[in-house]
A and B are shown apart, each in its own frame.
Chain A
Amino acid sequence: MANTTATTAPARKAKPGTGAVAISGRRRRYNVLTRRDKILLALMVGIPLALDIILIWGPTVASIFFSFTNWDGIGGIEAKNIVGLKNYQFMFTGYTLFWPAFTHNVIWLLWLTFVATPLGMLFAVLLDRDIRGSRIYQSVFYLPVVLSLVVIGFIWELQYFPTDGFINNALGLVKSGHIIDWLGDSRINLYAILGAASWRHIGYIMILYLAGLKSVDPSLREAARVDGATEVQTFFNVVFPVMAPINVVIVVITAIESLRAFDIAFIINQGKNGLELLSILITNNSISEASLVGFGSAIAVVLLLISLVPIVTFLTRVMRTSQ
């Protein structure tokens, strides 16, 4: 239900009919709402909203504030703790891990956007046709999505171990002595864990895209076929443009997943030696290993600013559809 534009179209169409009633009914409803109802409604929205603001938006603002201080988490924050842009200055110029981590996040984003996401879309397009066993294929490709990234990390370590891993043995590298240290070599380990992350991401994108494909009006494809378009042409010239809204959602989801990346890198080596990520630098600097609260917050602010791009994109889309 309601998962596709096609299915909601009838519901939307039904609305104008009842719309006139609803508009005249709206005025009546406010009379029907007793004071008690209004208080109840205010509480029903107010309690969750207050929690959201206290525990999510409050900390977001606090992160920005902390980033201008050199607070170490002990005692209060006094005027002398305020250091202006010093944290940012050090982050961009003196801190050797920032730019590597930033680059790794960018690589993560590019990889998911241009390798994993298109593969997920390809799977969806292939499975959208009436082929035997489509359901079974879908279930298999989706399976890694229900696993936690911790478990995915462990499972892939068994593939990537230098001498005991399956990949090096299968490639005959152990016998020939040219062992590749997939997870230990800082030039390649990021790509190794991206392989594991893609294993999960592809299935996720596939399911989302399949739902979108199901919502494409079949008569469009029929018309293209009658006009003699090949399947590939039909996809790129007819289906893909129609799916613009879901394409946006998928790009947004991919971007957010890339910025959130934390678990696999943390499991493999706590995000060190080639696996530095912004998210991990934040916790390492201010909670787990050091107590540079102000400095860690400055990294958090950078992550926040980058995240705002996909978030605002998504919100704009929500606004447009609900108007």
Chain B
Amino acid sequence: MSAVAVAAAPSRSVRKKRPIRPARVALHAFLIAMVVVWLFPLAWATYISLRPLSDTIQHGYVSLPSNGLSLVNYQSAWTQADLPYYYLNTLVVVIPGVALTLLLASMVAFCCTQFSWKFNLTVLMIFIAGNLLPAQVIIIPLYFIYLHTPIANLGSIEVGNFSFALFSDNNLLYDQYIGVILIHVVFQTGFATFVLSNYMKTITREITESALVDGANVLRIWWSVILPLCRPALAAMATLLFTFIYNDFFWALILISTGAKRPITSALNNLQGEFVANFNVITSAAILACLPPIIVYILLQKQFIAGLTLGSTKG
């Protein structure tokens, strides 16, 4: 990146001094039109979410507000639809999900890039190919594995009306946070391993070698030598994995049956039935549900894009 940026910098300053060309104006006109097309559906949804139900029943959705806008739908979504509760469900899936994925993936990437084994490439292939499979290809047997794997029940942590089962509260993997976390970790480890190993390939093996000579064991080298060097890649992966897991619909839909245990993204689907006559509240809930990834995206845009491009352009 840096080399290209340096090369591009002088020409950029030269070009800015050029006079305005009609082609440029047309280009901007096109791009601005596209920006409007891109933002309009979001803006429209926001507008609907701010209109009280009585107003839209009377005048239809496509109308000007007669009684002003209000946050009443957000209030209903927050209290009646129990959104804080579903946020919490998401949180208990996303945080361990991202952390464990990064741990496992960085271990595999470390072993496959810092040492020469016979099966380095094979291992990498197994992970990558696994991540590329459509989830529906494996869902049927996975569903039965989840239904028939006994898991210890170690009680639960209660926070208000929220109950987080340690391991399992039905002695199965099915219908458990831990089950959803597990499949996220395993599935995303494929992608994260690929990206992290692309990154670790650029770290010279001499670092690991000299640490070995100094008597450090491999676990220590992985944790305190290689991982700190991978901070940019880990940060990029963490933001990306956060949105991947946050936005998941499929795993939670199939592997969790209790509505109250669903993370927010899949819980939205149930709200559709619950508030069938009030799409304004559903829209507010949808907007609240997509705020965390949008905030993460706005704050960490660079990490985000770095993560995606690390995974795609190389390899």
Contacts and interface: CB of A to CB of B under 8 A. Distances in A.
Interface of A: 1-8, 10-11, 14, 18, 21-22, 25-26, 28-29, 32-34, 36-37, 40-41, 44-45, 47-49, 51-60, 62-63, 66, 73, 123, 126-127, 130-133, 137, 139-144, 146-151, 154-159, 161, 163-166, 169-170, 174, 199, 203-204, 207-208, 211-212, 214-215, 218, 246, 249-250, 253, 256, 259-260, 262-263, 266-267, 278-279, 282-283, 286-288, 293, 296-297, 300, 303-304, 307, 310-311, 314-315, 317-319, 321-322
Interface of B: 1-4, 7-8, 11-12, 15-16, 24, 27-28, 30-31, 34-35, 38-39, 41-42, 44-45, 48, 56, 60-62, 104-105, 107-108, 110-112, 115-116, 121, 123-130, 132-145, 182-183, 185-187, 189-190, 193, 198-199, 201-202, 204-206, 209, 212-213, 217-219, 222, 232-233, 243, 246-250, 253-254, 265-266, 268-269, 272, 279, 282-283, 286-287, 289-290, 293-294, 296-297, 301, 304-306, 308-310, 312-315
Contacts of B126: 49, 52-53, 57
Contacts of A133: 28, 31
A282 B140 contact: yes
A123 B294 CA distance: 21
A130 B112 CA distance: 40
A62 B315 CA distance: 30
A156 B4 CA distance: 39
11 contacts: A4-B1, A4-B4, A49-B127, A51-B189, A59-B142, A63-B140, A130-B15, A141-B38, A151-B286, A151-B289, A263-B249
Contact of A8 (B12, B121, B202, B248): B202
A29 B209 contact: yes
B269 A208 contact: no
Nearest to A127: B31
Contacts of A296: 140
Contact of B12 (A53, A130, A214, A287): A130
Given A3-B309, A154-B286, A18 B206 contact: yes
Contacts of B121: 319, 322
B119 to A, nearest CB: 9
Main secondary structure of the interface of B (DSSP, over half): helix
Contacts of A303: 134, 136-137
B222 A59 contact: no
B217 A36 contact: yes
Given A2-B202, A147-B293, A150-B269, A56 B140 contact: no
A285 B134 CA distance: 17
A3 B132 CA distance: 20
Given A41-B218, A151-B289, A303-B137, A158 B3 contact: no
Contacts of B16: 130
B250 A262 contact: yes
Given A22-B205, A158-B48, A297-B140, A37 B218 contact: yes
A159 B40 CA distance: 10
B179 to A, nearest CB: 10
Nearest to A56: B130
Given A5-B313, A25-B205, A154-B45, A55 B186 contact: yes
Which 7 A-B pairs have CB atoms at the shortest separation, nearest pair first?
A148-B247, A62-B141, A59-B141, A211-B309, A59-B138, A169-B62, A3-B309
Given A36-B217, A40-B217, A155-B41, A49 B108 contact: yes
